[in-house]
Amino acid sequence: MTPQERIAELTDRLNFYNYQYYQNSISEVDDFTFDQLLAELADLENKHPELRRPDSPTSRVGGTVSKEFSTVYHRFPMLSLGNTYSEEDLVEFDNRVRKGLNGQEYEYVCELKFDGVALSLTYENGVLVQGATRGDGVRGDDITNNIRTIRTVPLRVTGPDIPALFEVRGEGFLPLAEFERINKEREDIGEPLLANPRNAASGTFKQQDSAAVARRRLDCYLYSFLSEPEVFQTHEDSLVALKKWGFNVSQTWRKCADIREVMTFINEWETKRFDLPLGTDGIVIKVNRYDQQRELGYTAKSPRWAIAFKYKALAASTVLNDIRYQVGRTGAVTPVAMLTPVLLAGTIVKRASLHNANEIERLGVMLNDTVFVEKGGEIIPKITGVDLNRRTDQSTPIVYPTTCPACGTPLVRKEGEANFYCPNEKGCPPQRQTRFEHFIQRRAMNIESLGEGKIELLIDRGLAQTPADLYSLTYNDLLGIEKVFLDEETGKRRVVSFREKTVENILSAIERSKAQPFQNVLFALGIRYVGNTTAEKLADYFGSMDAIMTASQEALLAVPDTGPRIAESVVTWFADADNRDFVERLRAAGLNFAGEKKVVEREGDTLDGKTFLYTGTFANFSREELEARIAANGGKVLSGISKKLNYLIVGENAGPSKLEKAQKLNVPMISEDEFLAMLDA
Ligand SMILES: NC(=O)c1ccc[n+]([C@@H]2O[C@H](COP(=O)([O-])OP(=O)(O)OC[C@H]3O[C@@H](n4cnc5c(N)ncnc54)[C@H](O)[C@@H]3O)[C@@H](O)[C@H]2O)c1
Ligand SMILES: [Zn+2]
């Protein structure tokens, strides 16, 4: 390949990766690969400057603005950071800084490099007036409403020394615990999992519906302050002031006297960073004094006074001994790699996730291969590749099972899904077991004292086939039963036994569960795609189990945020005779089959069949009241603007992007008064 061809190929490929990463929140390759390709391109361009393409990613910030939000111009450009993975490069950076400052003394401030989305917040007279993404560095998306949902971002700051106009910048992120929570919920209701916290954060910030954004508890760390004229002498002073004014500044930063101290900081955080509540991928090193920053200046893409040191993802190599196929509640089969134990980032790793059959194929991995495992932002490490140099004739192909490893039923794969499923929902032991686990969890019936092997014991003894059987258990059924569990990995024995106290606790928890609200009961049924939030919406809208059981697909579609997939799943579930029998037994046990509050009482039919969306705030209604009135009069609230939408109700401070889109699609816009008039019609 000629240099010209290679340059063209790299330019196209990297531009495509950037587009996927910033526009669609998808990583086509890992960051290290991306950075290596970018470095290769920069190197080729240096050698052949005449071959450099005008759209080269080496001299531009990677992102763009999107059509869904209105565009804002940054007062000060939002640039990228030069990055390196090596100590030598860091020493070179330090040499450049020393040269650039002509022998002046200088210090650095080191911060963690938070792995999220760059945000810019503008405050006028102490009030947050604008929040934006980085975009292409010059212009970004106005996502003020979404940023307002972050609880740690102050909407107003006060104090004698606060400038009238200033900007703060930081990293918006999805905390790891929140990422795990969302994925657990998604797994629970059969939704595909989010790939990693960074991409999840980026996707969330770009959502149109800020109520949906608020449900994912995003957070933000601030790390930079900008104003004109400057009010601080150093970056350090600004971090201290930001913290004092109430901004969320991670207290992990440290001032370093020289590059050796910087290296110490870098080494210190290499594994300690995994204890932080968010994903990080390196250390950012900044010259502390602002006047020196100015003196050093900028390239087209990044400041010369800062650099990012990126950690290579922590990897280890070990042998893949076996694959276990786990069957989840919805029947999805997931392969789990069983590894020869290996130390990685301070913990012993014995298993790694392989996601699905496609992933095994993509990796080309075989049993007994030596594989690379990496720990990224997520808790469970993953297999990232095969060490082909160490493949021997011991390696044997992985034969993906065609029947359920637990019950022998032939597996099925649905159109467009990566997972295989065991369709034997009722008879398959792990599905039955996880159905119980779903039923007893806190957000469902809250009988968590039945965890840790107790359910298995009940099933084994034939005391419970379905969760409905829990309600007919007696003291004498339970007292004294026990089972010995053997942990296959540690070889340890664990005895689960029902003594008097245990039995009393369990029976009283079962009794108490009868008081759980209706929405919990609905969620506990374990209908696919009916997670917590959906259960709450259905319960609010229909008010009773009977209403939901008999609801048609169309009636279900009228519930806010309920699409065809959920509607179909609900109808199919209740059409099943065993499921209906299960429901009747729960009714007989005395569970709550009706909601106490917010039953939609029909006020009228003036809005029958009409669809609405609203934007802004209203004089006569809160959001909830508005939605309730629409529903009570036969209308439906949609979650986004489309051609199907009949009316956009426009309140105070309406979102400009919604207005623009409605205009483009010719969706009629009405005021609050016009809406009131429709109700009375
Ligand atoms: N995997 C892919 O397909 C893909 C595609 C595009 C980009 N990327 C990754 O993204 C990088 C380019 O992204 P980039 O231009 O945002 O550069 P960057 O992420 O390497 O560095 C700049 C960004 O760091 C963030 N940051 C975090 N903590 C910070 C702190 N304490 N101080 C200052 N900034 C901090 C800010 O958001 C800032 O915009 C690439 O080097 C690559 O690793 C990956
Ligand atoms: Zn099965």
Q: pLDDT digit string (tens) for 446-489? A: 998 898 789 989 998 999 999 999 999 999 999 999 888 887 76
Domain count, the chain: 6
- pLDDT at res. 92: 97
**Residue of 12, 16, 27, 34 to test ligand 1 pocket, by largest number of atoms within 8 Å of CB:** 34
Q: Is the CB of 171 under 6 A from ligand 1?
A: yes
Q: pLDDT digit string (tens) for 571-614? A: 999 999 999 999 999 999 999 999 865 556 778 888 988 999 99
pLDDT at 378 over 60: no
Residue ending a domain, choose from 529, 556, 589 = 589
Q: Does residue 549 belong to any structural domain of this protein? A: yes
The H-or-E segment that residue 342 falls in is: strand 332-344
Is 390 within any annotated ligand binding site? no
Residue with the smallest CA separation from ligand 1 atom 16 is 80
Q: Is the CB of 221 under 6 A from ligand 1?
A: no
Q: Does residue 218 belong to any structural domain of this protein? A: yes
Q: Is the CB of 31 under 6 A from ligand 1?
A: yes
Determine the distance separating the centroid of ligand 2 and the alpha carbon of 133, expressed in angstroms: 46
What mean pLDDT do residues 270-299 have?
A: 94
Cβ neighbours of 509 (radius 10 Å): 17
**ipTM of the complex as predicted:** 0.95
Helices (H), 564-671: 564-575, 577-589, 623-632, 656-664
| CATH value at residue 90 | 3.30.470.30
Handedness of CA 607, 68, 225, 229 (dihedral sign): negative
The rounded distance, in Å, linking the Cα atoms of 617 and 654 is: 7
| CATH value at residue 650 | 3.40.50.10190
Q: Are residues 301 and 218 in the same domain?
A: yes
Burial of 176 (0-12, 13-18, 19+ CB in 10 A): middle
Q: What are the CA-CA distances from residue 418 to residues 385, 397, 596 (Å)? A: 19, 20, 41
Q: Which domain holds residue 375?
A: 314-400
pLDDT at 617 over 90: no
- pLDDT at res. 458: 93
Residues linked to residue 324 through DSSP beta bridges, in sequence order: 336
Q: Are 587 and 563 in contact (CB under 8 A)?
A: no
Q: Is the CB of 223 under 6 A from ligand 1?
A: yes
Q: pLDDT digit string (tens) for 7-37? A: 999 999 999 999 999 988 888 888 888 999 9
Residue ending a domain, choose from 400, 418, 443 = 400
Q: Which residue in this structure is represented by tokens 């007893």?
A: 440
The rounded distance, in Å, linking the Cα atoms of 480 and 82 is: 66
Cβ neighbours of 462 (radius 10 Å): 8
> Helix, strand, coil: what percent of the chain each, to 5?
40, 20, 40
Q: Are residues 113 and 229 in the same domain?
A: yes
Q: Does residue 603 belong to any structural domain of this protein? A: no
pLDDT at 350 over 70: yes
Cβ neighbours of 290 (radius 10 Å): 18
Flag the least confident range among 16-30, 231-245, 399-413, 487-501: 487-501
Residue with the smallest CA separation from ligand 1 atom 10 is 31
Q: Are 506 and 497 in contact (CB under 8 A)?
A: no
Structural tokens at position 210: 């800020």
Q: Does residue 604 belong to any structural domain of this protein? A: no
Handedness of CA 360, 364, 366, 368 (dihedral sign): negative
Verify cis geometry, omega within 30 degrees of 0, for the bond prior to 54. Answer: no
Q: Are residues 197 and 279 in the same domain?
A: yes
Q: Does residue 66 belong to any structural domain of this protein? A: no
Ligand in closest contact with the CA of 411: 2
Amino acid at 504: E
Is 404 within any annotated ligand binding site? yes
Q: Is the CB of 198 under 6 A from ligand 1?
A: no
SS3 for 280? strand
| CATH value at residue 567 | 1.10.150.20
Q: Is the CB of 247 under 6 A from ligand 1?
A: no
The H-or-E segment that residue 347 falls in is: strand 347-353
Q: Are residues 106 and 211 in the same domain?
A: yes
Q: Are 348 and 341 in contact (CB under 8 A)?
A: yes
Is 487 within any annotated ligand binding site? no
**Residue of 30, 80, 167 to test ligand 1 pocket, by largest number of atoms within 8 Å of CB:** 80
Say whether pTM exceeds 0.90.
no
Determine the distance separating the centroid of ligand 1 and the alpha carbon of 81, expressed in angstroms: 7
Burial of 32 (0-12, 13-18, 19+ CB in 10 A): middle
pLDDT at 349 over 90: no
Q: Are 524 and 558 in contact (CB under 8 A)?
A: no
Q: Does residue 414 belong to any structural domain of this protein? A: no
The rounded distance, in Å, linking the Cα atoms of 360 and 390 is: 18
Q: Does residue 300 belong to any structural domain of this protein? A: yes
What mean pLDDT do residues 202-218 have?
A: 90
Q: Are residues 95 and 19 in the same domain?
A: no
Q: Are residues 361 and 433 in the same domain?
A: no
Active site residues per annotation: 113
Q: Does residue 416 belong to any structural domain of this protein? A: no
Q: Are residues 207 and 304 in the same domain?
A: yes
Q: Is the CB of 287 under 6 A from ligand 1?
A: no
Q: Are residues 244 and 130 in the same domain?
A: yes
| CATH value at residue 329 | 2.40.50.140
Determine the distance separating the centroid of ligand 1 and the alpha carbon of 159, expressed in angstroms: 33
Ligand in closest contact with the CA of 406: 2
Q: Are residues 81 and 160 in the same domain?
A: yes
Q: Are residues 380 and 480 in the same domain?
A: no
pLDDT at 624 over 90: no
Is 16 within any annotated ligand binding site? no
Q: Are residues 85 and 176 in the same domain?
A: yes
pLDDT at 191 over 80: no
Structural tokens at position 343: 């130390």
pLDDT band at 626 (very low <50, low <70, confident <90, very high): confident
Residue ending a domain, choose from 513, 529, 547 = 513
pLDDT at 430 over 60: yes
Q: Are residues 477 and 567 in the same domain?
A: no
What mean pLDDT do residues 525-553 have?
A: 92
The H-or-E segment that residue 140 falls in is: strand 139-141
**Residue of 26, 236, 284 to test ligand 1 pocket, by largest number of atoms within 8 Å of CB:** 284
